[in-house]
């Protein structure tokens, strides 16, 4: 199974890139979805958060109040590390479980959408790392427009993550999303035709050969 680690930053357009390949039928693991799963009511992840930050980060129905938690951690590096410590093991175990499931059905290509791909050292288990890159000025403008953040809040969110420029040295493929959607789509079309389609075709040939061997037996 060919493993692709997809990373980027807030407002970089990583979700748009993932959607492109999802629409092509490529399976994926979304770490944000996993992170939500491991903090559902009754989970060890949610219990760890409450033990660390207090019950005021819960809604009245017992679910996690993400806005309240975000207000605590995004402006405080120490608190953010505490949150990562609460969830790191639970997220890792679930991602590895999902990986095993995909491997068991001979999935040819799997994309890992993991924001902390570099920081969490997930990149070490990938065959390729793809970085969705955007310059910081565009990143700030998109956050201010999309989320209606002040410039200060936008910078705080950006600075809470590893800088995209610092991720470039880890990347096998850099997808530049500082321009238009059309320019991004053109890059993705090239990646699809030059990198992924050949892998799928190769896997199809191997599958046919294996099927013939089994049939002959």
pLDDT band of 208, cuts 50, 70, 90 = very low
So what's the pLDDT on residue 20?
Answer: 97
164 torsion bin: left (phi>0), alpha (psi -120 to 50), beta (else): alpha
Average pLDDT, whole number, for the chain?
88
So what's the pLDDT on residue 217?
Answer: 33
pLDDT at 81 exceeding the cut of 70: yes
Mean pLDDT, residues 103-129 taken together: 93
Determine how β-strand 28-30 pairs with β-strand 2-7. Answer: unpaired
So what's the pLDDT on residue 84?
Answer: 87
Instruction: Specify the 3-state DSSP secondary structure of 59.
Output: coil
So what's the pLDDT on residue 211?
Answer: 32
- Residues 65, 59: contact at Cβ < 8 Å? yes
DSSP for 102-151 reads HHHTT-SEEEEE-TTTTTTTGGGG-SEEEEEE--HHHHHHHHHHHS---H
- Domains of the chain (ranges, CATH numbers): 1-27+108-217 (3.40.50.300), 32-106 (no CATH)
Lowest model confidence (mean pLDDT) among 75-79, 129-133, 173-177, 208-212: 208-212
Cβ atoms < 10 Å from Cβ of 206: 12
**Nearest in space to 41 (alpha carbons), one of 17, 57, 19, 24:** 57
So what's the pLDDT on residue 155?
Answer: 84
Give the predicted TM-score (pTM) of the model. 0.82
pLDDT at 107 exceeding the cut of 60: yes
């Amino acid at each position: 199974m060919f493993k692709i680690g997809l990373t980027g930053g807030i407002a970089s357009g990583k979700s748009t890139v993932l959607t492109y390949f999802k629409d092509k039928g490529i399976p994926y693991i979304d770490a944000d979805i996993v992170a939500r799963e491991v903090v559902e009511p009754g989970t060890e992840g949610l219990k760890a958060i409450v033990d660390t930050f207090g019950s005021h980060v819960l809604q009245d129905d017992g679910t996690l109040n993400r806005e309240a938690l975000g207000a605590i951690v995004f402006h405080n590096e120490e608190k953010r590390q505490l949150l990562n410590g609460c969830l790191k093991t639970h997220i890792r175990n679930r991602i590895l479980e999902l990986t095993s499931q995909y491997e068991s059905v001979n999935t040819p290509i799997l994309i890992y959408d993991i924001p902390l791909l570099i920081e969490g050292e997930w990149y070490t288990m990938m065959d390729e790392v793809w970085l969705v890159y955007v310059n910081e000025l565009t990143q700030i403008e998109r956050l201010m427009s999309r989320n209606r953040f002040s410039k200060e809040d936008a910078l705080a969110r950006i600075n809470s993550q590893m800088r995209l420029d610092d991720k470039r040295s880890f990347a096998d493929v850099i997808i530049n999303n500082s321009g238009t959607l059309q320019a991004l789509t053109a890059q993705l079309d090239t990646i699809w035709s030059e990198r992924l389609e050949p892998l799928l075709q190769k896997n199809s040939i191997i599958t046919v050969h294996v099927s013939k061997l089994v049939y002959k037996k």
